[in-house]
Structure 1
Amino acid sequence: MGYEDKLVPHALKFRRFLDKFPKFHNIYVIACISCVSALLFGFDISSMSAFIGTEQYTSMFDLSSDVQGFVTAAMSLGSFFGSLASAFISEPFGRRSSILLCSILWMAGAAIQCSCRNLGQLIAGRIISGLGVGFGTAVAPVYGSELAPRKIRGLIGGLYQLFVTLGILIMFYISYGCSKIDGRSSFRTAWGIQMIPGFVLFVGMFFLPESPRWLAKQGYWEDAEEIVALIQANGNREDPDVLIEISEIKEQILVDEHVRAFTYADLFTKKYLPRTIVGVSAQIWQQLTGMNVMMYYIVYIFEMAGIHGNANLVSSSIQYVLNTVVTIPSLYLLDKVGRRPVLLVGAAFMFAFQFGVAGILATYAETIPEAERTSPSVTLKIPDSRKNASRGVIACCYLFVCSFAPSWGVTIWLYCSEVWGDSACRQRGAALSTAGNWIFNFAIAMFTPPSFQNISWKTYCIYATFCGCMFVHTYFFFPETKGKRLEEIDQIWADKIPAWKTASWQPIVPLLSDADLAAKMKYEHKENESDLIKSDADDNSENEKKVEQA
């Protein structure tokens, strides 16, 4: 008996407890509550960037560039392990349980950070918060996509990244205000405030329904159908969209019954290797754009541009505002323009603006004497006599963010849930690609402070080169997934269609239209409704017996 089977009685008891609370069935309300986990991700990013250059922080933590890099990266390290561990909770206990655990770990980590008395406690708090963020990033997007009507799945998926940017923005302004407080209470207060959205997420999850796909997998078909009907058609089970959704769930469950032996090693076989390379590299490229350098260490960047004190924090805040605002159009672009054009244009612009920052710093910045350095990571700056050069660096940073946010910022999370096609590899493929994102996030956060110290402006040349490489890789190997069913994406891989031809490609044998499929499902639904109810009753009875025996 596997560990999941042993946990079934406990999972059923916990689900019964959660189901006692009244539920929201508006998909936008559901998405907004579950995406508070993305808000936590954003909070953690800017909770450090606003303080690393302040006197209050440096007086308590006088850190070398290497140690500061590890402190910043500790969250990503925790998130790497949290994302891998999430499957051990979400499969037996359901999606809601994992997101609840996300909120609990986040609140615990925030409490440890705000009460920290030494470096070890700060790192421990960031790792624990990272574990929570890892659970949220691995489960919340899946939870939203499993509940969302397929016609707006792109929009609901894009909301996750929007909430990340909102979290970055909100926490930065909280930190900016708290930086005016004298002494260590400044960053302690800001880090303590992080517990508030964690508590909101914790309470909100009691009022959200369980994923219908998870319920169906556990044998609760009647409950699964009821949730789909309430979300998509105000409870009308005969609605065509509801019938199609239920048919897709049934097909997925039947397929999953035949692919239980699929392992991570199978992702690297001849059949799956091309899509594994695309899925994993897409997440890795997102980190190698250098965006997290702009988020975690924006204070350092603007110090190099000759901006100090309050002016630095104000300039940084504008970047966070831009990051949030320009994310919104991508929710429209993804379903109208397509994935490939958005990724290609974003990579091209980021390539140009990274080289722009490097070129201006190389030409106009001067080395700071070691005795005058306020941070070991800032070894050069543009003198006050060259204000236009300073403005040029700031403009390139702003334009870089405006290029990243609506392209590689939002698109990759959605793209990596679609590109696998084959349901046999989708779950493990998505988990592997997310783990790749977090481990490179950790590596870059570690690498950046010493790279600023040792090679200064050349750091931007490295990220610019990565942006050029990802443009080439995307053009030749990333297929278009907009408007295609998962079966069609699988056929693209099977037929080895060149990536640049996939936007106009059509399958040889067209699939049934939505109208034809709905009519077919309606007939089968009427015919099998009594059998379905009987089967669900039998399953419920069997599960109840397991609980009583436990």
Structure 2
Amino acid sequence: MASTKNPVDVDADPPDRRGAKRDELLEIEATRALTAAEHALGFWPAIRQYPQATFWSMFFCLAVVMAGYDAQIITSFYALPAFQLRYGDPVGSGGSGHYEVSAPWQMALGMGNPVGQVLGALASGYPLERFGRRRTLAACCVWSIALVFVQFFATSVGMLCAGEILAGLAYGFYVVIAPTYSSEICPLALRGFLTTSVNLAFVIGQFVAQGVAAGLETRLDEWAYKAPFALQWLWPVIILAGLPFAPESPYWLVRQGRKSDARHALVKLSSSRSPPDIDQVLLGIEQTDLLEQELEATTSYRDCFKGVHLVRTEISVMVYLIQVIGGNPLIAYATYFFEKAGLNPSDAFNMGVGNTALGFVGTITSWPLMNYFGFGRRTIYNAGMVVMTVLLFIIGFLSIPTGNTGAVWAMATLMDIWTFTYQMTVGPICFVIISEISATRLRSKTIAIATAVQAAATIVTTVAMPYMLNSDEANWGGKAGFLFGSISFICFVWCYFRLPESRGRTFEELDILFQRRIPARQFKHYDLLGEGEAGSRVAKEEA
């Protein structure tokens, strides 16, 4: 084990830091050995060293399951006969008995979750820095339990809308806390795997929601939509039971000056049989925090838009925003989309369940892509954008002929393939990127901004989608593929020029690369360790 002396204490070693020039700060110094060790650590050895970190990262992701579940269950209700009968209006002529929830009410209900997320995400910055990850999550769980009562006992659609908005405040916190916590408790080798678990949690929530809705599709009483609300009491209770045993983020503890607590948290996160060098890991956290303090003294939202942090915020916002504007609303409306495309309600619900199941498989498939085959974040994300764009245009062209049953099934199948591709690439890799690209001192705020922008875009699509798909409005059906395909192509162009490769980089390395303003397409091959070793050899020769 390394010495327990604090090598970054400015009082103990003032000449090296306080008198250093900025160019001298932008080098791998005391952490060179740790950085090289992080690069050399493989996936399975990292699992053996940090089994508790793996568990607690996934445990925190349970909160995201709630966010995915709530967003999906509301849109699934639009195709639920009992919900249509309770809140819908008769459509068609001749008294056919068919009901449809009007576009304005679909818009109002669907906006509850994203509106709450915008407010919750932006409000999360202060409590996360003031109270830490654990206590903030606990408070949000209590809030969620209370708001499920509002949804469950709602006596009107207006009351239900209010419950959705207020519950969404907690969901905004959840989608910030989970990736922030995951990225701060795991080593470099596990960062991609554990941060993609955030997307897996979303998919699990969507899958459970689709399965519950499909299972209750034949019921015509109020329990067809009340039982799904009641299920939301399960997750916060489980989280509250486990949180007292969860370690706090060591990065947050270091920023609070609680280094002994940070060391204790690292011990709890690692294996007792095959532990890492705790003192060296703590040194790396301290050095990264000190470097960022030297480069930026404060940690406000304003700092996210200053200097190189503006670039890091831009990247985080865009990779999250693309999830919405690149075609993801078609997943949220999958069951309703299938029904509007011509499938009967039973087939539509079955296709919806299959769609979310493929999303689950796709997210798991992203793990070997990153860890076994070694593809980078930029490579996977951009490849996904290409395939998704092509599929959206094909869906659009298939929708041109009307009354063709084969074309309807082909569109539904391509939607499933699109979902699998999305959940294997853009969906999970987004959470890896936003967890790596942002500076550690600004991470919760950068992710909060990206979440708020993404949720705001969701509000726009929530307004637009019912009018696109409803039979008494635009009735686009599969032609929506043309719109999202065009937007997806523009997003791919941005990705090609602006998205850097962060695979295999420690947080300190990423700080240095951004501060040096290395072009995005050069991140992958820029050798910080090599240049430092060459500089050391030159210095020795000159001496």
Same fold (TM over 0.5): yes
Secondary structure at the aligned position of 1:311 is classed as: helix
1:261 pairs with 2:302: no
Q: From the superposition, tell whether residues 95 and 272 of structure 1 become closer, same or farther in structure 2 (CA, over 3 Å).
A: closer
Corresponding residue for residue 12 of structure 2: none
Cα deviation, 1:11-35, whole Å, max 9, x if unaligned, reads: xxxxxxxxxxxxx982233123211
1:454 pairs with 2:474: yes
Q: From the superposition, tell whether residues 450 and 511 of structure 1 become closer, same or farther in structure 2 (CA, over 3 Å).
A: farther
Tell me which amino acid in the other structure corresponds to 1:152.
L
Corresponding residue for residue 359 of structure 2: 323
CA distance in 1, matches of 2:517, 2:260: 40
Contact 1:229 1:235 in 2 (8 A): no
Cα deviation, 1:432-489, whole Å, max 9, x if unaligned, reads: 2222122112221222111223261443211101111111111111111111223333
Task: Please show how residues 222-371 of structure 1 align to structure 2 within 5 Å.
Answer: 222-234=260-272, 240-255=276-291, 257-258=293-294, 259-261=296-298, 263-269=300-306, 271-295=308-332, 297-335=333-371, 336-362=374-400, 364-365=401-402
Cα deviation, 1:220-265, whole Å, max 9, x if unaligned, reads: 32222122123224288xx554223201222244346553435444
Corresponding residue for residue 138 of structure 1: 176
TM-score norm. by structure 1 comes to 0.79
1:473 pairs with 2:494: yes
Corresponding residue for residue 56 of structure 1: 82
Q: From the superposition, tell whether residues 316 and 334 of structure 1 become closer, same or farther in structure 2 (CA, over 3 Å).
A: same
Q: From the superposition, tell whether residues 308 and 173 of structure 1 become closer, same or farther in structure 2 (CA, over 3 Å).
A: same
Q: From the superposition, tell whether residues 442 and 318 of structure 1 become closer, same or farther in structure 2 (CA, over 3 Å).
A: same
Q: From the superposition, tell whether residues 33 and 42 of structure 1 become closer, same or farther in structure 2 (CA, over 3 Å).
A: same
Contact 1:155 1:332 in 2 (8 A): no
Q: From the superposition, tell whether residues 101 and 510 of structure 1 become closer, same or farther in structure 2 (CA, over 3 Å).
A: farther
Q: From the superposition, tell whether residues 55 and 455 of structure 1 become closer, same or farther in structure 2 (CA, over 3 Å).
A: closer
- Deviation (angstroms), 1:270: 5.0
Q: From the superposition, tell whether residues 487 and 145 of structure 1 become closer, same or farther in structure 2 (CA, over 3 Å).
A: closer
Tell me which amino acid in the other structure corresponds to 2:419.
V
Q: CA RMSD in A?
A: 2.4
1:410 pairs with 2:428: yes
Task: Please show how residues 16-165 of structure 1 align to structure 2 within 5 Å.
Answer: 26-62=52-88, 63-165=101-203
- Deviation (angstroms), 1:107: 1.9
CA distance in 2, matches of 1:92, 1:361: 52
CA distance in 1, matches of 2:313, 2:125: 19
Which residue of 450, 454, 461 corresponds with 1:444?
461
- Deviation (angstroms), 1:357: 1.5
- Deviation (angstroms), 1:509: 5.6
CA distance in 1, matches of 2:521, 2:132: 39
Contact 2:80 2:213 in 1 (8 A): no
- Deviation (angstroms), 1:510: 4.0
Cα deviation, 1:364-419, whole Å, max 9, x if unaligned, reads: 22xxxxxxxxxxxxxxxxx3xx3211221111101110110011100111101222
Contact 1:25 1:230 in 2 (8 A): no
Q: From the superposition, tell whether residues 206 and 319 of structure 1 become closer, same or farther in structure 2 (CA, over 3 Å).
A: same
- Deviation (angstroms), 1:119: 1.3
Corresponding residue for residue 193 of structure 1: 231
Tell me which amino acid in the other structure corresponds to 1:324.
F
Q: From the superposition, tell whether residues 150 and 502 of structure 1 become closer, same or farther in structure 2 (CA, over 3 Å).
A: closer
- Deviation (angstroms), 1:102: 2.4
CA distance in 1, matches of 2:301, 2:128: 18
Q: What is the number of equivalent residue pairs in this alignment? A: 466
CA distance in 1, matches of 2:283, 2:276: 11
Cα deviation, 1:156-196, whole Å, max 9, x if unaligned, reads: 11112112111111222122222333311210111111111
Tell me which amino acid in the other structure corresponds to 2:408.
S
Percent identity, please: 23
Corresponding residue for residue 20 of structure 2: none
Secondary structure at the aligned position of 1:454 is classed as: coil
Contact 2:335 2:349 in 1 (8 A): yes
Which residue of 413, 427, 443 corresponds with 1:395?
413
Q: From the superposition, tell whether residues 133 and 227 of structure 1 become closer, same or farther in structure 2 (CA, over 3 Å).
A: same
Farther-moved stretch of structure 1 (245-254 vs 404-413): 245-254
Tell me which amino acid in the other structure corresponds to 1:292.
P
Q: From the superposition, tell whether residues 294 and 488 of structure 1 become closer, same or farther in structure 2 (CA, over 3 Å).
A: same
Secondary structure at the aligned position of 1:410 is classed as: helix
TM-score norm. by structure 2 comes to 0.80
Tell me which amino acid in the other structure corresponds to 1:291.
N
Tell me which amino acid in the other structure corresponds to 1:409.
G
**Which runs of structure 1 show a deviation greater than 6 angstroms over 4 or more consecutive aligned residues?**
none
In structure 2, stretches of 5+ residues that fail to align are 1-49, 89-100, 535-543
- Deviation (angstroms), 1:150: 3.1
Contact 2:180 2:443 in 1 (8 A): no
Contact 1:351 1:468 in 2 (8 A): yes
In structure 1, stretches of 5+ residues that fail to align are 1-23, 366-382, 514-550
Tell me which amino acid in the other structure corresponds to 1:289.
G
Q: From the superposition, tell whether residues 46 and 277 of structure 1 become closer, same or farther in structure 2 (CA, over 3 Å).
A: closer
Tell me which amino acid in the other structure corresponds to 1:132.
A
CA distance in 2, matches of 1:68, 1:40: 20
CA distance in 1, matches of 2:308, 2:183: 26
CA distance in 2, matches of 1:487, 1:215: 18
